[in-house]
Amino acid sequence: MSNLTNRQVLLNAHPVGFPVDTDFKMVETPAPAPADGDLLIRTIYLSLDPYMRGRMNQGPSYATGVEIGDVMTAGTVGQVVASKNDNFAEGDFVLCGNGWQEYAVSDGQGVRKLDPTVAPISTAVGVLGMPGMTAYVGLLDVGELKDGDNVVVSAASGAVGAVVGQIAKIKGHRVVGVAGVQKKCDYVTGELGFDACVSHRSETLADDLKAACPDGIDLYFENVGGKVFEAVVPLLNDFARVPVCGRIANYNMTEPPSGPNQVPSLMQRTLVHRLMIRGFIVYDRAHLQDDFLREVGGWIRSGQLKYREDIVEGIDNAVRTFQGLLRGENFGKQLVQVSDDPTRPA
Ligand code: NDP
């Protein structure tokens, strides 16, 4: 295997603010050889997700960060090219966490086989993987979706938001999305069946959202923070729930937002309206994995739930594509295709 070259993207510096090209470094090394018990995996799809921005930082968070000189972390879908592990055979498709690189050796721990006849293998890091599971547990378990809830979700056309809105629609709710540009709004209303969608880039966001939510908001699925959250808060009804999934608008901030301290008024509103604002991390709810796969898998097979992937080719485009994700340039679940997918028709 030593004749295989492994291109890897390493963290070169902890970004200060928006990550720049020099925060990363591409290196070429010989692909590692599997020892007894190991398998060598070729990366096919590399999942790019907003959480990676947090992993680039120094300091404590809910997960360990990437050290300078380490391969950037990522969920990946790959194919076993050599196996010295009885549980895996050459040619198997697998879900693993091999990061931003073309090849990796694993002892099989945490590696899950994928059956390409059940679902496209790329979905294992998308609608049937971590982002889909995040939507499912955040909406139903953390958010305690109730009959009659008026639902709003931000980053509505993205990997998580699109699934949130569609599950709420399947369950009979009125759903309003918030997205960046018109084509994303058209997609969530036209293709995904949301009732309305407003742009957070509009000067009149607060008014637009109010007009789109004539009965207020009972459940806001928070993906972005910033001015979207500020527009949502005055519209929250009594007993509204806010599962706090992400705050991408803040991920590149180097200082707290300027302006008056809004914590006292938010806490007052939380008391008066008996709000529930609850952060969660998807893996806190791992016990719901089987329910998620059964229900969401079923909705995909029946055509009730759609998904969209934004696939960019080539590991050398990983950094540029990640930067684009932070700017809202992705349209759907962001993937980088690192090598051929033999399961996908040409
Ligand atoms: P998306 O596929 O939705 O991509 C990110 C999107 O965020 C962009 O396309 C853009 O959409 C939007 N965005 C970027 N900057 C801003 C901004 N300043 N204001 C408003 N919107 C912005 O990503 P995911 O669906 O994978 O993730 C959505 C959120 O969920 C993220 O915050 C992520 O960190 C979080 N998450 C949390 C998990 C958990 O366990 N808690 C697990 C997985 C994800 P647009 O063009 O519409 O603005």
- DSSP secondary structure letters along 145-177: --TT-EEEEESTTSTTHHHHHHHHHHTT-EEEE
Taking CA atoms only, the protein residue closest to ligand 1 atom 7 is 155
- Nearest ligand 1 atom to alpha carbon 178: 47
Ligand 1 centroid vs 30 CA: distance in angstroms?
Answer: 35
* pLDDT the model gives residue 275: 98
**Residues 83 and 42: beta-carbon distance below 8 Å:** no
* pLDDT the model gives residue 345: 80
Residues 117-128 pLDDT 10s: 999 999 999 999
All structural domains of the chain: 5-126+307-337 (3.90.180.10), 130-285+294-298 (3.40.50.720)
Residue 163: HSE in the Cβ half-sphere, 13 Å Cα cutoff = 31
Alpha-carbon torsion, ordered 253, 257, 262, 263, to 10 deg: 40
Confidence of residue 1 (pLDDT cuts 50, 70, 90): very low
| Number of neighbouring beta carbons within 10 Å of residue 183 | 11
- Whether the per-residue pLDDT at 199 is higher than 80: the answer is yes
Which residues are near ligand 1 (CB < 6 Å)?
Answer: 49-51, 131, 134, 155, 157-161, 179-181, 184, 200, 223-224, 226, 228, 245-246, 248-249, 280-282, 325, 328, 330, 334
- Using alpha carbons, select from 302, 226, 229, 161 the residue that is nearest to residue 175: 161
Residue identified by tokens 């994303």 is 184
Mutate to test the pocket of ligand 1, among 183, 248, 280 (most ligand atoms within 8 A of CB): 248
Q: What is the CA radius of gyration of the chain?
A: 21
Residues 126-173 pLDDT 10s: 999 999 999 999 999 999 999 999 999 999 999 999 999 999 999 999
- Nearest ligand 1 atom to alpha carbon 200: 20
Residues 37-77 pLDDT 10s: 999 999 999 999 999 999 999 888 888 899 999 999 999 99
- Whether the per-residue pLDDT at 89 is higher than 90: the answer is yes
- Whether the per-residue pLDDT at 112 is higher than 80: the answer is yes
* pLDDT the model gives residue 2: 59
Report, as an integer, the average pLDDT of 7-32.
Answer: 97
- Whether the per-residue pLDDT at 329 is higher than 80: the answer is yes
| Number of neighbouring beta carbons within 10 Å of residue 292 | 22
Ligand 1 centroid vs 106 CA: distance in angstroms?
Answer: 30
CB neighbour class for 150 (10 Å; exposed up to 12, middle 13-18, buried from 19):
buried
**Residues 38 and 106: beta-carbon distance below 8 Å:** yes
Please, what is the average pLDDT of the chain? 96
3-state helix/strand/coil string of 271-324: HHCCCEEEECCHHHHHHHHHHHHHHHHHHHHCCCCCCCEEEEECHHHHHHHHHH
* pLDDT the model gives residue 61: 85
Residues 237-296 pLDDT 10s: 999 999 999 999 999 999 988 888 999 999 999 999 999 999 999 999 999 999 999 999
d(CA 198, CA 242): 19
pLDDT above 70: percentage of residues in the chain: 99
- Nearest ligand 1 atom to alpha carbon 227: 19
